[in-house]
Structure formats: structure tokens, C-alpha cells
Structure 1
Amino acid sequence: MNEIPLEHVHVAPDDGVEDDPAPAVFVLHGRGADEEDLLPVAAELPDDHHVISLRAPDRLQDGYTWYELDLSAGGLESSQPDADDFRRSLDLIVGSVEAAVDAHGLDADRIGLLGFSQGAITSLSLLLEDPDRYAWVVALHGYLAESHADLDPDGIGGKPVFVGAGAGDRVIPQSRTEAAIDHLEALDADVTSGSFPGGHGIGPQELDAVVEFVASRTA
């Protein structure tokens, strides 16, 4: 059995669900959070899924971060991932997905990503690097990193992607999320998007839309 590189929480499908190998969703938290943070969101998804919530590799106060921020273009609203940190985390996530498929008997053709903030930015980059690896992606309150903005990979056409933004988000302005939506649509991804009330968090309306999207893609 391959060891999963990143610390994580694994929640198996509900007892009585007969689907072997089973689908899975890999959950990527935001900056300063941890692998427990998005479990309440994942708990609302279809109960035939494994949930594997990964912990970012670097400590940040009481939580963890996927990368440090490059602020050379200005303030937080113009930040980008530090290139070296970002590359390391992307590789660790891919390695964790591959190891978990073996360790937990997952269906490699039915792997989803669900990320918030830094986790959303990371999820979109993983999708653009290897669209065939993921059946669908949910990216909430994120943007498309400049390092991946010029990628036009085979397999992105028709790929289901949900992108959510907060109308009052002051951490990642809605305009940055909208730019990611425009780019994905230009690549012919199957984009579902929405702007939701509130700031940098997942409210009930957004959660309902995410659950509907995932259920419709995994039925």
C-alpha cells in the first residue's frame, strides 16, 4: 500500500453503499485552515463518495497553507502563489491522489476536487495541468494563477467545473473569480458559476448550488 504524502482525513462512504471501486472527492482547504475545515461541506455531498480532505504542507499560525503569497504586484487583491511553494504543493496533491486510489480502492475515473480559496486556486491549476485525471472540479472563492493562465490542455473541453464567488468577498474579489470563469469558458469547459451573498466564506445558497452540481455530475 502506498503511503499518502499529505496528512489527511478519510471518510468512507456510508455503510450499505455498494460501489467498488467507489468515487471520491479530494478536499483542499483555504489559507490558515486545516483538513477538518471543509468536512461539513463535504458531508453534504452524495454519500456514495469517499471524502479525502488533505492538509496543506506548511504551518501558518493555528492552521496550514499551501503556499506563501507573492505580493510583488501590489496588495492581497493582486497576489499570486509563490512559484516554488505552489509547485511543491501541486506535486504533493497529485502524489496523494495517486496513493489514495491504491490505498482506499478508489475509482480513478471518478475523482473530483473541491477547493476553497487557496484550495480553489490549486484545484483549477491541477485541472489545467491534467484534466483527464479529474471527473469534475468545484472551485470556490479562488482565481486562476498566472502560472497556469496560458495552458490549453487536451481534455478540458466539456469538463464539468463549478466556480463560486462571494459578492462581498474582500479577500479574493469577485472580479478575479469572474476572470477565471471567462478563461475556462474560452477553453470550452462545462462551467457552472454563481455569485453568492456574503464575503470570503461558503454560505447556504452556495452550498446548495455545490451539492446540486456534484449530485448532477455523479448520478
Structure 2
Amino acid sequence: MHQEPIHTAGQPLATATKALVLLHGRGGSAADILSLARHLAVPDFALLAPQATQHTWYPYSFLAPPAHNEPGLSAALSAVGRAVAEARQHDIPLENIYLLGFSQGACLTLEYVARHAARYGGVAAFTGGLIGDQLYLENYAGDFAGTPIYLGSSDPDPHVPAGRVRASTQVLRGLGAAVTEQIYPHMGHTITPAEISEVNRLLFGAAS
């Protein structure tokens, strides 16, 4: 199966001690999501952004039965795994690997880490939730061991119900994550400066 390239930016993987995997939304691109890094406190990070085939990670809503989104969903999860493995191959430990996504990329980010719960540097999901017509808890395993995870979303949002965000928070906490959930009234389907500021503080240690 054709694999799209992983785009890189920031510090060279060969010398970086931390890495951030960024996942774009439906219709977006690796270049789009890499541009977000200008607003993040990650000057010393290697940045890795997989590119989705035809700009979409899977064809239908994240609330569709997972089988309906195959083979796209499995390919998308594999792409995230390849980006994490790329950082690991350059001797960056998992606890120094961070993952971040927006919209469809946020759903994919959460689904990947919940299926591979471990001590990551941190996780940020801008407008996303765990994937499926229901939550398939049997897919999720491991221990986040206190990994900080940020979930920011809007109520209402045209694509991501606030109820799924809240349910995802509970699952992630059950796997040992330190979750910060912020649901903003009528924020819209976007990433706001307030969310960026919170992620910089929670995940990247920037002064607020």
C-alpha cells in the first residue's frame, strides 16, 4: 500500500532530544499543521507531520462504525506509528515524544495513544475524541503513567459532539493520563490562542 511521506521541520532528528508528531485535519496537509508549531513553545523539538492520502485520514465521520472507515483508519494509525518509530530510531525516548492533532487529526491522535498508552511527553487534541460509533474499550490498553493530555473543543461543534470529548476524557483518565479538558461555548471549529496558551503551559512548560 502506498505510504505518504513524513514531513519534518524544526531541529534535525539526529541531534534533537524531543520530538512532536503533528496530525492535520481533513482537507489539511502536513505543511498546514507544521505551520502551527510557530505558535508553540517547541524551538528545540524535531517536528514530524505525516501526510494523509488525498488529505483525509479516513473517509467518514469519526463517529461511524470503525469498519466503515477501513482501510483508511488502520493506514492512518500506522502512519502515526511510523512517525513515532522514526523519532525512537533517533534515540528519542517515548517520554520525550509529544503528539498533537486538530479535528480529524485530533481524533486520530487520541485513538493512537489510547491504543498504545504509555508515558509520552504530552498529547494535545484540538477538537477531537476517540473514534467509533461507540467507544470500543477493548481496543485501549497500557498505562499513561501521568502523561499530560489536553482536550480542547467547542460546544456545539459541527463535527465533534462535546459528549464524545467528555467520554474520551474519562477513558484516558482510566488509562492513567492527567487530562485537562476545556470545552468552550460556541468557540467554532478552530484552534484559539487560549488553547495554544494552555498547551504551551501544560505540555511545553511555557510560562503563562
Counterpart contact for 1:159–1:190, Cα < 8 Å: yes
Q: Which runs of 5+ in 1 are unaligned?
A: 70-75
Residue 207 of structure 1 and its aligned partner are, at CA, apart by 1.4
From 33, 37, 55, give the equivalent of 2:32: 37
Which residue in 2 is equivalent to 1:53? 49
From 144, 157, 171, give the equivalent of 2:159: 171
Percentage of identical aligned residues:
27
CA RMSD across the alignment: 2.6
Which residue in 1 is equivalent to 2:6? 8
Residue 145 of structure 1 and its aligned partner are, at CA, apart by 1.4
Distance in structure 2 (CA, Å) of the matches to 1:194 and 1:32: 25
1:162 aligns with 2:147: no
Most deviating of 157-166 and 36-45: 36-45
Q: In structure 1, the residue corresponding to 2:168 is in which secondary structure? A: helix
Which residue in 2 is equivalent to 1:125? 111
Counterpart contact for 2:24–2:30, Cα < 8 Å: yes
Q: In structure 1, the residue corresponding to 2:79 is in which secondary structure? A: helix
Counterpart contact for 1:181–1:191, Cα < 8 Å: yes
1:68 aligns with 2:66: no
TM-score, normalization: structure 1?
0.78
The verdict on how the C-alpha distance between 1:202 and 1:129 changes in structure 2, with shifts beyond 3 A counting, is same
From 79, 82, 103, give the equivalent of 1:95: 82
Distance in structure 2 (CA, Å) of the matches to 1:161 and 1:49: 18
Counterpart contact for 2:157–2:189, Cα < 8 Å: yes
The verdict on how the C-alpha distance between 1:128 and 1:192 changes in structure 2, with shifts beyond 3 A counting, is same
1:86 aligns with 2:73: yes
Q: In structure 2, the residue corresponding to 1:198 is in which secondary structure? A: coil
Deviations 1:65-116 (A, max 9, x none): 11111xxxxxx584355132111211122123313543xx351331110011
Residue 204 of structure 1 and its aligned partner are, at CA, apart by 1.3
Query: How many residues align structurally?
Result: 196
Amino acid at match of 1:116: F
Larger radius of gyration: 1
